[in-house]
Structure 1
Amino acid sequence: MGERVVAITGGHGVLGKAVVEAALAQGLKVAVIDHASGHAVPEGVLEVGGVDLTDPAQATKAVEAVVAHFGRLDVLLNIAGGFVWQGVEGGDDEWGRMFALNLTTALNASRAALPHLKASSEGRIVNIGANGALKAAHGMGAYAASKSAVHRLTEALAEELKSTSVTVNAVLPSIIDTPANRADMPDADPKKWVAPADLAAAILFLASPQARAITGALIPVTGRV
Structure 2
Amino acid sequence: MGDTTMNERVIAITGGHGELGRAVVAAALDQGLKVAIIDHATDQTAPAGALALGGVDLTDAAAAAEAIATVVETFGQLDALLNIAGGFIWQTVDDDRPAWDRMFALNLTTALNSCRAALPHLKQSDAGRIVNVGANGALKSVSGMGAYAASKSAVHRLTESLAEELKSTPVTVNAVLPSILDTPQNRADMPDADPALWVAPADLASVMLFLASPQARAITGALIPVTGRV
Per-residue CA deviation, residues 151-184 of structure 1 (Å, 9 max, x unaligned), is: 0000000000000000000000000001110010
TM-fit CA distance, 1:92 = 4.8
Q: Which amino acid aligns with 1:213?
A: A
Per-residue CA deviation, residues 92-130 of structure 1 (Å, 9 max, x unaligned), is: 510000000000000000000000000000000000000
> For the aligned residues, what is the CA RMSD?
0.6
1:91 has 2:69 as partner: no
* 1:37 alignment counterpart: 42
Question: Residue 2 of structure 1 aligns to a residue in which SS?
Answer: helix
1:144 has 2:157 as partner: no
* 2:3 alignment counterpart: none
Q: How many residues align?
A: 225
Pairing partner for 2:78 from 69, 73, 80: 73
Question: Residue 224 of structure 2 aligns to a residue in which SS?
Answer: strand
TM-fit CA distance, 1:38 = 3.5
Per-residue CA deviation, residues 119-147 of structure 1 (Å, 9 max, x unaligned), is: 00000000000000000011100000000
* 1:103 alignment counterpart: 108
With normalisation by structure 2, the TM-score equals 0.97
* Structure 2: stretches of 5+ with no match in the other structure: 1-5
Pairing partner for 1:13 from 18, 35, 45: 18
Question: Residue 171 of structure 1 aligns to a residue in which SS?
Answer: strand
Identity %: 76
Q: Write the distance in 2 (CA, Å) between the matches of 1:212 and 1:25.
A: 22
* Structure 1: stretches of 5+ with no match in the other structure: none
With normalisation by structure 1, the TM-score equals 0.99
* 1:2 alignment counterpart: 7
1:220 has 2:222 as partner: no
TM-fit CA distance, 1:67 = 0.4
Q: Which amino acid aligns with 1:118?
A: K
* 1:158 alignment counterpart: 163
TM-fit CA distance, 1:39 = 1.2
1:50 has 2:55 as partner: yes
* 1:208 alignment counterpart: 213
Q: Which amino acid aligns with 2:81?
A: L
Divergent runs of 4+, >6 A: none
